[in-house]
Amino acid sequence: MSRLNLRPALTALVLAFAVTPTAVSAKSAGNVVPRFMQTLPNVPGKSMIAVEVTLAPGENAASHRHAKSAFIMAYVLSGIIENQIAGQPAKIYRPSDTWFEVPGDHHVMARNMSKTRPAKLLAVFVVDSEKKELTTIDP
């Protein structure tokens, strides 16, 4: 099975529309940089928000949940990331691999497998437009 390489298209999209959304929380797991925010004119009340998440070498991002309305597609830009959603087995993702999270998912692990190099992913949210807090770290 061949994989569709979305990296060039996603990179162009992020660079072409890079803005700083106010809806990105400072409490996010990993080092988070806002890249894109746009209301969806054909989906009233919804916005698309993209953030770049960098995990330091060996970093395991804190267990967290996202806004209850959030559907998320994560795309690995670089590095190797072990990821787990509650109730599912952990999986390994490499550059150009993707995973998704549905509303209500509990993200229990996102770990950079390298001890020497950072790992990066692009997380794209479709979320209620009025939602200000995208990520809440577990207590």
The yes-or-no verdict on residue 9 having pLDDT over 60 is no
Place of tokens 């770049």: 52
Question: pTM to 2 decimals?
Answer: 0.77
**What's the pLDDT at 14?**
35
| Neighbouring residues of 123: CB distance < 8 A, sequence distance ≥ 6 | 50, 51, 52, 53, 72, 73, 74, 75
The yes-or-no verdict on residue 1 having pLDDT over 90 is no
- Ordered domains of the chain (ranges, CATH): 7-137 (2.60.120.10)
Report percent pLDDT > 70 for the chain: 79
Q: What are the pLDDT digits (tens) for 12-27? A: 333 333 333 333 333 3
The residue among 99, 96, 122 whose CA lies nearest residue 15 is 122
Q: Cβ atoms within 10 A of the Cβ of 39, count?
A: 11
**What's the pLDDT at 101?**
96
The yes-or-no verdict on residue 49 having pLDDT over 80 is yes
> With left for phi above 0 and alpha for psi between -120 and 50, is residue 89 left, alpha or beta?
beta
Average pLDDT of the chain, as a whole number: 83
Confidence at 29, pLDDT banded by 50, 70, 90:
low
**What's the pLDDT at 5?**
39
